[in-house]
């Protein structure tokens, strides 16, 4: 399938999470779509979901500065995209999935992943990419990966954690992994648009 055929089926794109991974990913997608013209960014409707504001602890590993402290993460991402990405200042839920053709999962929430994976299994027309990082651990999954591998990657946890392990937060140790997984998600999306889907999970410990 040609990339133009895949792109023509896309109308609405969601980025779930504007923190450690999502803020970097949004920047990569905007650059690839607008500055490098790799896909028709302006003709799609983009939304970024996040219910959080920037705090000082986020500066260790997220794409924010001191001037952003106290502000909505979704709003900041929107402004950086020249308002081409609409900010939705709440957590994305399963009720939102039917509205979108592509979902980028950038939230560290197993309950969200369970819902997204289950919905995707019943609605293969939805293409999703799930990026994970926990300090130096990286995981990349998408809706073309087999169900056995996807289900094995899930847990029963309902906790929302973040991109850094607690010990790294305490010691103020930063890692580049949010940038790495965000770039991998962007490349995975390019592969999808070009009909060269990534069909395996990618797990790394750097």
Distance CA(45)–CA(13), nearest Å, equals: 6
Q: How many CA atoms lie within 13 A of 169 on its CB side?
A: 12
pLDDT value of position 107: 95
Q: What is the predicted pLDDT for the residue at 1?
A: 46
Nearest Cα residue to 159 out of 123, 111, 127: 111
Q: Please, what's the largest Cα pairwise distance for the chain?
A: 48
Of the candidates 133, 153, 147, the one whose C-alpha atom is nearest the C-alpha of residue 25 is 133
SS3 call for 55? coil
Q: What is the pLDDT of residue 2?
A: 53
As a whole number, the mean pLDDT across the chain is 94
User: Which pLDDT belongs to residue 157?
Assistant: 84
How high is the pLDDT of residue 110? 94
Answer whether 0.75 is exceeded by the pTM: yes
pLDDT score, position 128: 98
Pairing of strands 202-205, 137-142: antiparallel
pLDDT in tens, 136-194: 999 999 999 999 999 999 998 887 777 778 887 888 888 899 999 999 999 999 999 99
The predicted-structure confidence for 33-68, as pLDDT tens digits, reads as follows 999 999 999 999 999 999 999 999 989 889 999 999
First to last CA, the chain: 34
pLDDT in tens, 82-102: 999 999 999 999 999 999 999
Report how far residue 76's alpha carbon sits from residue 100's, in angstroms, rounded to the nearest whole number: 22
What is d(CA 103, CA 66) in angstroms, rounded to the nearest whole number?
29
Taken in order of first residue, the domains within the chain and their CATH numbers are 3-205 (3.40.50.720)
pLDDT of residue 129: 98
Q: Residue 168's pLDDT is what?
A: 77
Residue 163 exposed, middle or buried by CB count within 10 Å (0-12, 13-18, 19+): buried
């Amino acid at each position: 399938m040609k990339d133009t055929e895949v792109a023509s089926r896309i109308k609405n794109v969601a980025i779930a999470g504007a923190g450690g991974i999502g803020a970097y990913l949004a920047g990569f997608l905007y650059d690839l779509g607008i500055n490098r013209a790799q896909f028709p960014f302006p003709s799609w409707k983009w939304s970024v979901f996040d219910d959080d504001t920037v705090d000082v602890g986020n500066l260790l590993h997220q794409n924010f500065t001191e001037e952003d402290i106290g502000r909505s993460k979704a709003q900041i991402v929107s402004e950086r995209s020249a308002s081409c990405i609409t900010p939705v200042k709440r957590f994305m839920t399963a009720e939102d999935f039917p509205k979108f053709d592509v979902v980028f999962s950038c939230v560290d929430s197993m309950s969200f992943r369970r819902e997204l994976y289950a919905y995707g299994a019943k609605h293969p027309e939805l293409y999703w990419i799930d990026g994970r990082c926990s300090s130096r651990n990286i995981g990349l999954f998408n809706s073309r990966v087999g169900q056995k591998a996807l289900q094995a990657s899930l847990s029963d946890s309902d906790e929302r954690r973040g991109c850094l392990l607690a010990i790294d937060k305490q010691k103020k140790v930063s890692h580049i992994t949010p940038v790495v997984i965000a770039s991998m998600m962007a490349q995975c999306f390019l592969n999808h648009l070009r009909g060269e889907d990534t069909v395996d999970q990618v797990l790394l410990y750097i």
